[in-house]
Amino acid sequence: MNTEKLRSFLKNRLPPEINRLILAAAELAASQEASLYLVGGLVRDCLLDKTPKDADLVITANAIRFGQDLLQGTSYKTTLHHRFGNLSADINGFKLDITTARSEVYPAPGKLPEVGAGDIKADLFRRDFKINAMAISLSQQNSGCLVDPYDGLTDLKQGKLSVLHPKSFQDDPSRIWRALRYSERLGFDISAETLALLKRDMQLIPLIGADRLRYEIECVLEEAKPENIFLKAEETGVLRYSLPGVKADGWLVGKFAEARKIYGTCIPRVIYYCLLSARLNKLQAENLVTGLNPGKYITGCLGDYRYLAENLPELEKTGLRPSHLYKILVKCRKEARQSFYIASDNPLVRQNISLFEEELSNIKPHLKGADLIALGFTPGPAIQTILRELLFLKLDGQLTSRADEIDYVKRRQADDQS
């Protein structure tokens, strides 16, 4: 790769601010006599001429100090990881990572590594796949030079994905999901040897714990067609060790695709979560939540989804009283209702949910709390009760005009007083 090609990649494929920062970083590194490299996905995407999702730099100096010097005077949010000698900056939504060149030793499968000093070759050796273990020098004397000690370029040209050494998945079982993800995203085959290692080591996945597994699963959900990655996970057996009970098959493929038709590419990940949980029983659904620890909102939606599943016999009925349907559905978060709609193969269920979304949920009584107070009610919980009664009667068509509502309220008042 020559300097010109590198510069045009940086200019055309990265946001201008990142490009500017990388060029400034190269100058700063030169002034400090440190070697600076582009690494990982950025190099891979540069060689494939694809747009990178984020940018990783490695420096043979203290990356935290270097990053702070580089970003001095800017207001970008930065996160420091002292343990890994790493600084992450959020540059208008694009992640820039600067790491000190390091080597790693894994004390036990699934545990985080112990970190030591290392040169670029050692730093590349700790990486997941050969195609992600290349660097491009940004040093002035050899700018644009590819550093490829493990022959990642050959894999890249052959459309192949392979680990750097046989213990790779044992060191970090989360790489198993990364393998499936890159294989789908890039259309690469996992090499026969790496696939055998993946199958040998997939039983170690639970050792990475809920938070790291969730991170990997959510990276999958960010991909264009996550269902294809789940299919690969099913086929290899990885899914069983990661999300017990979840099935990836034609049904899931169809439902994920339908969800994207409704939401487009900005589909909230909670919809995918609900679809993954749709065919689980209660215990399996609870295990999914413990196994991924997905945070309050998603956990709430998954709970709502189960509640809807328990109410299925009601939701399958035709001619339900609107207020009854309303009472069932209003308790759930919108995403739970919408994923239940997508997951449902019964047109009656779909009709009922649509009726709620499109009509019932927009209906409000004419009278407000203030009107009731003006009519002589004492402020307090009784007002809420009457407003709900008005709403249910209106939903069922028993009250239509404001005058109907006032009549009803007055009658109610008279009853209370007698």
- Binding residues vs Mg ion (CB under 5 A): 41, 54
x/- site string to ligand ATP, residues 172 to 211, per CB under 6 A?
A: x-xx------------------------------------
Report what 132 binds from Mg ion, ligand ATP, none; CB cut-off 5-8 Å by kind: ligand ATP
CB of 166 or CB of 369, closer to ligand ATP: 166
Q: Which residues contact 334 (CB under 8 A, 6 or more apart)?
A: none
Report what 277 binds from ligand ATP, Mg ion, none; CB cut-off 5-8 Å by kind: none
Query: How many other CB atoms are found less than 10 A from the CB of residue 134?
Result: 27
169 phi and psi angles, rounded to 5 deg: -75, -25
**CA-closest candidate to residue 70, choices 145, 124, 121, 17:** 17
Write down the least CB distance from residue 178 to Mg ion, Å: 11
Distances (CA, A) of 253 to 10, 161, 240, 259, 405: 36, 24, 17, 10, 49
Report what 128 binds from Mg ion, ligand ATP, none; CB cut-off 5-8 Å by kind: ligand ATP
Give the Cα separation of 234 and 295 in Å (integer).
25
Take residue 291 and report the two structure tokens written for it: 């196994």
Write down the least CB distance from residue 163 to ligand ATP, Å: 9
Of residues 13-52, those binding ligand ATP (CB under 6 A): 40-41
Question: Which residue in this structure is represented by tokens 């985080």?
Answer: 112
Hey, what long-range contacts does 65-71 have (CB within 8 A, 24 or more apart)?
66/25, 66/28, 66/29, 66/32, 66/34, 66/98, 67/98, 69/28, 70/21, 70/24, 70/25, 70/28, 70/98, 71/21
Write down the least CB distance from residue 56 to Mg ion, Å: 6
282 contacts ligand ATP (rule: CB under 6 A): no
Give the Cα separation of 157 and 241 in Å (integer).
32
Of residues 102-141, those binding ligand ATP (CB under 6 A): 127-128, 132
Residue with the CB atom nearest Mg ion in the bound state: 41
**Interacting stretch for ligand ATP, rule CB under 6 A, among 53-61, 137-145, 298-306, 382-390?**
53-61
CB of 53 or CB of 321, closer to ligand ATP: 53
Report what 165 binds from ligand ATP, Mg ion, none; CB cut-off 5-8 Å by kind: none
Region label for 187, one of left (φ > 0), alpha (ψ between -120 and 50) or beta (otherwise):
left
Helix axes 347-358, 322-329, angle to 10 degrees: 90
Report what 304 binds from ligand ATP, Mg ion, none; CB cut-off 5-8 Å by kind: none
Question: Which residue in this structure is represented by tokens 């109410």?
Answer: 311
CB of 99 or CB of 137, closer to Mg ion: 99
- Angle, CA 408 vertex, CA 407 and CA 413 arms, to 5°: 100
Residues 36-66 as b/e (b if ≥16 CB within 10 A, e otherwise) read: bbbbbbbbbbbbeeeebeebbbbbbbebbeb
CB of 175 or CB of 232, closer to ligand ATP: 175
Take residue 79 and report the two structure tokens written for it: 């996160």
DSSP single-letter state for residue 86: E
Report what 216 binds from Mg ion, ligand ATP, none; CB cut-off 5-8 Å by kind: none
Write down the least CB distance from residue 1 to ligand ATP, Å: 17
CB of 99 or CB of 338, closer to Mg ion: 99
Report what 172 binds from ligand ATP, Mg ion, none; CB cut-off 5-8 Å by kind: ligand ATP
Query: How many other CB atoms are found less than 10 A from the CB of residue 79?
Result: 11
Considering only 5, 11, 53, 167, the residue that binds ligand ATP (CB under 6 A) is: 53
CB of 213 or CB of 336, closer to ligand ATP: 213
Write down the least CB distance from residue 9 to Mg ion, Å: 15
Number of residues that bind ligand ATP (CB under 6 A): 11
- Interface residues with ligand ATP (CB under 6 A) are 40-41, 53-54, 56, 127-128, 132, 172, 174-175
